[in-house]
Amino acid sequence: MPTYEELKARAGKIITTLMNEHEKAPDFGQYNRLLGKRSTSKKDVVKAAVANIKLINQVSQMLYQKDVVTFEDEVAELPNMSIND
């Protein structure tokens, strides 16, 4: 079983990898005709890293009842609007 410190180290490694891959990734994934698939975009890199960190948090919650990384949920609010006549 991984210790809490090992889980923290693993999350740190994922964050470091995220930063390195994010720098290299294009803003939009472009289709590669040779490989027959789309290249990995910045959004894809972030999405994969967040999924991995959330899994580490779930394991940490199960074993130690605390998170390794805390996410602040973004609340999407609509701005105040009025109808112009």
Report pLDDT digits (tens) over 17-47: 999 999 998 888 777 788 787 888 998 999 9
Q: For position 16, what pLDDT does the model report?
A: 95
Interstrand relation of 37-38 and 31-32 (parallel, antiparallel or unpaired): antiparallel
Q: For position 85, what pLDDT does the model report?
A: 47
Q: For position 72, what pLDDT does the model report?
A: 74
For residue 63, pLDDT beyond 90: yes
- Rounded to whole angstroms, the Cα distance separating 60 from 33 reads 42
Domain ranges of the chain: 4-64
Can you give the pTM of this predicted structure?
0.75
CB 11 within 8 A of CB 68: yes
Q: For position 76, what pLDDT does the model report?
A: 52
Residue 34 per-residue DSSP state:
T
Q: Where are the beta strands (DSSP E) in the chain?
A: 31-32, 37-38
Q: Quick one: pLDDT band at residue 84, thresholds 50, 70, 90?
A: low
